[in-house]
Structures are given as structure tokens and as C-alpha cells.
Structure 1
Amino acid sequence: MTNFTKFKNGLNRGPISLSRRSFLCGAMALGLGGCQSTRTAPLKTAKLSVPDMYQARPKERFPLPAVKPGDVPRKFWRKLVDDPTGERPGTLVVDTPHKYLYWVMEDGKAMRYGIGVGRQGFSWAGRANVAWKRAWPTWTPPSEMIDRQPELKKWRKGMPPGLGNPLGARALYIFSGGKDTLYRLHGTNEPRSIGKAVSSGCIRLLNQDIIDLYNRVPKNTPIVVIPDPKTKIA
């Protein structure tokens, strides 16, 4: 493992590092309640079998289909790895440029999840906490998104939960200093967006992955989002 990399943006209250590469990350903030995305083409890969963790969830409130083979590259599948962050156990770390989220565990391990991230220009970064957790949340597009996409006006008071809801099966709501950052970790109804920068802001995971993360993460969990230097922070 390389020496810890210290960041100069006020986020380095603890060591953060990566093996074999710099650990740089960021995420999207303006319109973060939005979380819609651009359609992406199917992944063209060799035939893949879907692991058990990505099979259908028929007992969910809204039964979830299995992840289709080829929708998500294998490197973005959920995996237990050696912790590359140096953060204390019980911390979430978002690595936006490399499209990973880490749940730091004991004994130098971390659970790694593939993520989809927001388009450049909708950025937020910092240290904060998980204030709320919601199963099958309502999605309410922010005013900024409605201004850009007037067709979303009908959802100004919220889109009911369901398979078509952009927040998916679970959502974690991030607050800093007691204020809503509008930054969310949530499921997605577009699994092909994992590993890409296509959404209007939020950090999305496969529905099966956000359920796993939701079950691990308690309220008030600290989260670290370190900015990508190529992205302007709002």
C-alpha cells in the first residue's frame, strides 16, 4: 500500500489513501433530489452469470427483478476488499472518479460497491452524516430540476415509491451541520448506469446493493466525499 495521501480541502481530518492509485472522489449536489439519468447502451461483454446477491427479490414491497447479465461490469459488483481509505470503521467513503463506495469495516476490510455518479457541474463534497434512512422512498424533484425539466412539475409534491421511482428501493439522506446537503445514496431503476456519470446528481447503487448497505449503516454514520479536482464544486 502506498503512503497515505493528505487532501488540502479541509476534508483530511483522518488518513485517506488508496493502493496503486490516488483516492480522489466527489459527487453532485445541485438538483441532487433529482437523480434522473441518461439512457445507456447495454454492456457488450462475454456471457456472465448473475451471482446470488443479484438475484430477484420477490418478497420486497415492490418485487425486484434480478440484475441482467451484462448490465453491470464485474468490477462494479459488490465485493469485500482490503480497506484502501484509512478511515475508521463505520465510515462511508465515496470515490467518485473510480465509481466506488466503501463501507469501512473492522480488521482492515471494506465492503465495496459500484456506483453511478452525477454529471459534471452538480458537485458537492465534504464530511457529513447519514441523517435519515428510508425504505422505498418518495422522490421529490427539487425546484432547480423542475425549472430545467418542466415535465417533472407533476411530481412537485412527490412521486410515490415503486419500481419506476428514481430513488429505487432504499435511500440514505446526507446532512452536514444539521442542514440537508440534498446529497443522497440510493437505489436505481437503471442498472446500466452503474460505473457511469449520467445522473442529475445523486450517488446510485444497484437496488440489491443499496438494500445491503441500508442494512449495515445506522443513522448518524459519517460519510466522506472527496472532490474530483476536475470537477467544479458548487
Structure 2
Amino acid sequence: MLSRRQFLATTTAALAAPAVHAQTADPRDANLVDLPAGFAPARVNLQTEIASGEIHVVPDQYRLYWTLPDFQAIRYFVGVGRDRLYESGEFYVGAKKEYPSWTPTPDMIEREPDHYGQYEDGMPGGPTNPLGARALYLFQPDRGDTFLRIHGTHKPDTIGFDVSNGCARLVNAQIVDLYDRVPMDSRVVLHPKDIPNPIV
């Protein structure tokens, strides 16, 4: 599947930019698998000025941007929600967890009882947990927890695809990088599908 995603790496000149990485002290993070070098987090230039300190997910291009001052952002590659499960909108980071436990929602169990029913009591946190090494929990003022997450995965072959129940996923090594940058209450925009990239 990586070869299918390779077109993503060739559609932006910013891939040549130096990768940027945050530091982490958690020893469990030492052996997390990353994507090939071409898919490393990298600084890119924005086409319009966007407030710094925001997450923007562009689903059709499988990209997530953490915005910086001076028309710049850090770009990551992601997997996103399957078409009917992807939810666009504005959110904020209402919780952050390292190696979070995971429980499928009632809707997930109803849709795929054979797959998710066995986990109705939850799964302990760990690198192979569906939320991976880190998770950012997306909230809205009128709803509270939306049950949407930006989280890790140990399955690099799912990056660049519509694979999830609505969440955006990064490989574990890269969610660690992003997590360390993003403070609580940061604004998150999940852009609609089928629109041009509004970021770069």
C-alpha cells in the first residue's frame, strides 16, 4: 500500500524540507515505527495566513497541519474516516492522553458487532491499542466529547486511506511528535471532503 501513497510525497516540494521532531521522555516510545523519510513531519509554507497553534486536517489529501507563525505549518500524513463516518467541523482539544485505553462506541458495536463486540469493556492502553501511543480528544462547546480523536496507530499501511470510524490517525512516532506540540484547548478544523486544499 505504501506505493499507492507515494504520490502524496511527490505532490509537494516541501518534502525536501528538514524534518522536525519533538523530544519525549517516555521509554515506551523508543521503538515506535515511523513512516519512510519522505513522510516525516516537515515545515511547509501556507498560501494564506492562519492563526498559529491550530490543527487543520485536509482529508482528501491525507494531510494534517499544525500551524506556526509567519505563514508556516508542520505537515503530517494521516489516515481519515471512511466517507460516511468522516465528520467535518470545528473542534477543540478537550483532553490529551498518553497510551490511552480504548472502548468502541455503541454505534461502532452496532455497525460491526463481530469485530467490536469483544472490546465492549475496553482495551488497555499500549502501542498496539487502536488509539496508539497518544490521543487528542476532540470536543465541541455544545456537545462536549464528540468521540472523535486524533490518535496514533501501529499500522503504517493505513496512512493515506479512508480507514477509520471518523478519527484521524498518524503513525505512533508522529503522534508523539504532534502531541508534544499541541496544548489543551487548541482549535482543530476537520475540513470537508471534496474541496481543494485550503492550506497550501
Interval containing the TM-score (normalised by the shorter chain): 0.7 to 0.9
Return the alpha-carbon distance in structure 1 between the equivalents of residues 36 and 159 of structure 2: 6
Return the alpha-carbon distance in structure 1 between the equivalents of residues 105 and 137 of structure 2: 14
Residue aligned with 1:195, SS: coil
Unaligned runs of 5+ in 1: 1-40, 46-50
1:122 aligned onto 2:85? yes
Change (3 A) 1:58 1:216: closer
Contact 1:62/1:162, CA 8 A, preserved across alignment: no
Unaligned runs of 5+ in 2: 7-17, 196-200
Counterpart code for 1:210: I
Return the alpha-carbon distance in structure 2 between the equivalents of residues 219 and 174 of structure 1: 10
Counterpart code for 1:125: S
1:221 aligned onto 2:186? yes
2:33 to 39, 51, 66: 66
Residue aligned with 1:174, SS: strand
Counterpart code for 2:62: K
Return the alpha-carbon distance in structure 2 between the equivalents of residues 165 and 63 of structure 1: 17
More helix by share: 2
Larger Rg: 1
Contact 2:55/2:187, CA 8 A, preserved across alignment: yes
Return the alpha-carbon distance in structure 1 between the equivalents of residues 150 and 187 of structure 2: 13
Contact 1:43/1:72, CA 8 A, preserved across alignment: no
Return the alpha-carbon distance in structure 1 between the equivalents of residues 161 and 86 of structure 2: 15
More strand by share: 2
Contact 2:86/2:165, CA 8 A, preserved across alignment: no
Counterpart code for 1:66: V
TM-score using structure 1 length: 0.68
1:161 aligned onto 2:128? no
Q: CA deviation at 1:149?
A: 2.2
1:43 aligned onto 2:3? yes
Aligned residues: 179
Q: CA RMSD in A?
A: 2.6
Change (3 A) 1:109 1:188: same
Counterpart code for 2:140: S
1:172 aligned onto 2:136? yes
Q: CA deviation at 1:120?
A: 0.9
